[in-house]
Amino acid sequence: MIYNNIKEFTKKVNSIYNDNVKLYIIDDKKQEKEVNNMNNLQKNICVICGYEYQGYGNNAEPVKSGQCCTVCNSTVVIPARIKLIDDKKPIKRGK
């Protein structure tokens, strides 16, 4: 596209620049809103240790019924699940 004068060209460049700046601002606001949503996650109480944790939590079965924090999941629940697997006797197969 050929512009007739410098004013027309400058106007077009400014328009493109402003549109891009608006897109960046909108994107930043979306990211800020997502971060705020993550910060506002519901606070819960772990059924194993009783401490408060933020977020969705983990299934505490087979230790207790309910949700537990990540620390209890890693140190109590997962080892208990592994122990259940280890305690099962292997299936004897016929010849």
Same domain membership, residue 25 and residue 61: no
Please tell me whether residues 3 and 20 are part of one structural domain: yes
- pLDDT tens for 63-87 read 999 999 999 999 999 999 988 888 7
Instruction: Identify any residues that bridge with 59 across adjacent strands, giving them in sequence order.
Output: 67
Give the domain extent around 1. 1-40
* pTM for this predicted structure: 0.52
Instruction: Reduce the DSSP state of residue 91 to 3 states and report it.
Output: coil
**8 and 32 within one domain:** yes
The structural domain count of the chain equals 2
Residue 53 has pLDDT above 60, yes or no: yes
Same domain, 35 and 46: no
